[in-house]
Amino acid sequence: MKNQQVRLAALLGALVLVTTGCPGLLEALRSSVFQEPSLTFRSAVLTDISLAGLTLDTIWTLNNPNSVGVSLSTVEYALSVEGKRVVSGAPATGLDIGPGGTSELHFPAAIRFSDLAAVVETFLNKDNASYRVEGRLGLETPVGVVLLPLSYESTFEVPKLPLVAFGNPRVTSLNLSGATVEFPLQVTNRNTYALPVSGVTGTLSIGGSPVGTLSTGDLGAMSGKATHSAALPLTINLLSAASAVVTAIQGGTAQVTFNAQVHSGPAALPLSVQQGVDFLR
């Protein structure tokens, strides 16, 4: 306690001399009495992830080793992804860091994939995207404003379209005019993190002939690498169906094509599946 009082008294005394205009005292004060706070990168977290975009939150630790508090007075922050500036600005200031204290600083930045590529699917074909954080913090201290640089670069995992695959369809009912067929469908999240999928909906063709629409409904937030399985029923009018459709349903093999859209967040992105299947009775 006594050492802290002596240190504080020395600091206050030096500040009095600074205000009277003693040359060179500020620099001496920095080196002998006031220790410059430090700013270190801690981690980066992805939130609000969808196929439309995500939020990249970089987290930093600010350490004040002094016996007097400091406060955050200015912030300059910029985020570039794949070399393109996507976020810049000045987050809120006014944070107080107490004597000998540390504080966790968050810089969340919303990234829209449409800002990075004219065709979003082109960007989503990447495994990883590079990013760079730049800027600086201004700390109000007893020796004036101290500037600390913000600088970090790394990569993040780019969200990928889910993998959609068919099992062998099963004919559950059949008569002269129509048939009901259950199409087993698997939707797999290829990402290591959760991805919201509010539906996969599209037109199904058998042997090149459209036969109807399939929809999974809302799959919710799919966990990383998780698979959702469903048997989707479809009633097919055989009186107007092409011969290839009738032959397949009667117990043959055919190529099915599913031209669909994947709905994730505000995005609706195209997906096409072509697969040979055996129709089971």
Residues 6+ apart with CB under 8 A from 218: 197, 198, 199
Which helix (H) or strand (E) segment holds residue 46: the answer is: strand 38-47
- pTM higher than 0.85, yes or no? no
Do 55 and 79 fall into the same domain?
yes
pLDDT of residue 101: 86
Please tell me the total count of domains within the chain: 2
Asked, for residue 28, whether it belongs to a domain, the answer is no
Domain boundary among 118, 134, 157: 157
Neighbours of 130 (CB within 10 A): 13
Q: Count the neighbouring beta carbons within 10 Å of the beta carbon of residue 6.
A: 11
What pLDDT does 9 receive? 45
Residue 213 included in any domain: yes
Claim to verify: residue 218 and residue 129 sit in the same structural domain = no
* pLDDT grade for 2, boundaries at 50, 70 and 90: very low
Taking Cα atoms as reference points, which of 196, 179, 166, 167 lies closest to residue 260?
166
CA atoms of 134 and 88, how far apart (whole Å): 9
CATH of the domain at 50: 2.60.40.10
pLDDT band at residue 32 using 50, 70 and 90 as cut-offs: low
CA nearest 169: which of 26, 52, 281, 24?
281
The mean per-residue pLDDT over the stretch 18-27 comes to 51
- From 174, 172, 162, 249, select the one nearest 204 (Cα to Cα): 249
pLDDT at 135: 94
